[in-house]
Amino acid sequence: MSHLSLEVSLQKEMQGAASPIIVTSEGNQAGREVEERSQCIIKGLQRLPECNFSTAEVSDRYIDTILQQIHHQEYLEFLAHWNRALVGEELLFEYPYVDQGIEADTPLFEGVYDLSREGARTAIAAAQQIAKGASLAYALCRPPGHHAGPAWLGGYCFLNNAVAAVVTLQESGIDPVGLIDIDFHFGNGSAALLASRPDVWFGSIHSSTILSYPYKEVHPASDGQVFIPFSHSPSSEEYLTAVEQLIKKALSFGCAAMVVSVGYDIIINDPHGGWHLPPSIFEKIGQIFAQSSMPLCLVQEGGYLLTALDECAYQFGLGLLGYDQK
């Protein structure tokens, strides 16, 4: 019988400060980045008695300490400005804070900085659980963060939650830390942020970056970055082999803990995806991660098919908690 538990960090209530971010994909009105996403994931995790839920409690001061190690000050000030400059509306304009070769695509909205900081707080709180000795922690943060770079937003990401978790683990003395990104989309923000941190191993499985966001060629910055792109919809077997490859490389790098950027947009019918994997693949992904025996800090990225998110999270939890062996 397993004594594993999954510590789930919940994002603080925003008291109406934040408006939803409208995400439309080629005219498709589905796929909005809304609070309901987190509610669906919570519902799935609640089916697992090993999940302990707690609201993220991290001081504002500590969040700033972490964010200042990740993002440029003038970029943080830009977000802070638009946080209060918009009332009940979203605004998209040609701001300069974009990744090279990418156009501004992500609207700003009232409370954008407040909401993004709550996302970062949630990720930092989950990393602190790992630092305190938990084997499994899961940050249910939003908006996602892996497209946010040193001084840019994009792909509905503003602050990089996963890298905030990485830095928090490092601050607690865990070394080296790895980051595996299994979102459908390539985490261009995470890759750029970790390019200047060669002590952090980074692996990613994603849809071709030519066919999907960020719609440009990408290259690993060093031997400590491993990218596995698919230009077709991978079979379950192909996908799981890729996960195994990444874990193997992370272990040979010597990673003492792993942050996982979790995207449920790899499954069939996700409004922002394009692959045909079933939600049940997440049980197998969870099993492979669990077999690595590394402490895992899961950080929520994408996943927009509201009717499937609870099942994805439940299946992932089953695999992570070792239900196949019970």
**Which residue is at the shortest CB distance from Zn ion?**
302
Q: How far is the CB of 220 from Zn ion (least distance, A)?
A: 19
Q: Which stretch binds Zn ion (CB under 5 A): 167-175, 214-222, 261-269, 317-325?
A: 261-269
Backbone angles phi and psi of 62, in degrees to 5 = -70, -40
- The site that binds Zn ion (CB under 5 A) totals a number of residues, namely 6
Instruction: Kindly tell me which of 129 and 209 has the beta carbon lying closer to Zn ion.
Output: 209
C-alpha to C-alpha distance for 194 and 222, rounded to whole angstroms: 10
C-alpha to C-alpha distance for 273 and 183, rounded to whole angstroms: 9
Window 292-321: contact mask with Zn ion (x via CB under 5 A) = ----------x-------------------
Instruction: Kindly tell me which of 144 and 224 has the beta carbon lying closer to Zn ion.
Output: 144
Task: Yes or no: say if 239 and 281 are a contact pair by the CB < 8 Å rule.
Answer: yes
Applying CB under 5 A, does 265 fall inside the site for Zn ion? yes
Instruction: Kindly tell me which of 228 and 251 has the beta carbon lying closer to Zn ion.
Output: 228
Q: What 8-state DSSP symbol labels residue 191?
A: H
Applying CB under 5 A, does 31 fall inside the site for Zn ion? no
Task: Yes or no: say if 52 and 7 are a contact pair by the CB < 8 Å rule.
Answer: yes
Applying CB under 5 A, does 184 fall inside the site for Zn ion? yes
Applying CB under 5 A, does 185 fall inside the site for Zn ion? yes
Q: Which string of DSSP letters, residue by residue, matches 149-160? A: BTTB-BTTB-S-
Applying CB under 5 A, does 183 fall inside the site for Zn ion? yes
Backbone angles phi and psi of 164, in degrees to 5 = -60, -40
Closest to 160 in 3D by CA, of 206, 129, 209, 195: 195
Instruction: Kindly tell me which of 130 and 285 has the beta carbon lying closer to Zn ion.
Output: 285
Q: How far is the CB of 301 from Zn ion (least distance, A)?
A: 6
C-alpha to C-alpha distance for 135 and 318, rounded to whole angstroms: 15
Instruction: Kindly tell me which of 147 and 284 has the beta carbon lying closer to Zn ion.
Output: 147
Task: Yes or no: say if 306 and 268 are a contact pair by the CB < 8 Å rule.
Answer: no
Structural tokens at position 117: 């900081």
Instruction: Kindly tell me which of 63 and 193 has the beta carbon lying closer to Zn ion.
Output: 193
Applying CB under 5 A, does 263 fall inside the site for Zn ion? yes
Q: How far is the CB of 303 from Zn ion (least distance, A)?
A: 7
Three-class secondary structure of residue 33 per DSSP: strand
Q: How far is the CB of 154 from Zn ion (least distance, A)?
A: 12
Peptide bond just before 278 cis, omega within 30 deg = no
Instruction: Kindly tell me which of 132 and 216 has the beta carbon lying closer to Zn ion.
Output: 216
Residues that bind Zn ion (CB under 5 A): 183-185, 263, 265, 302
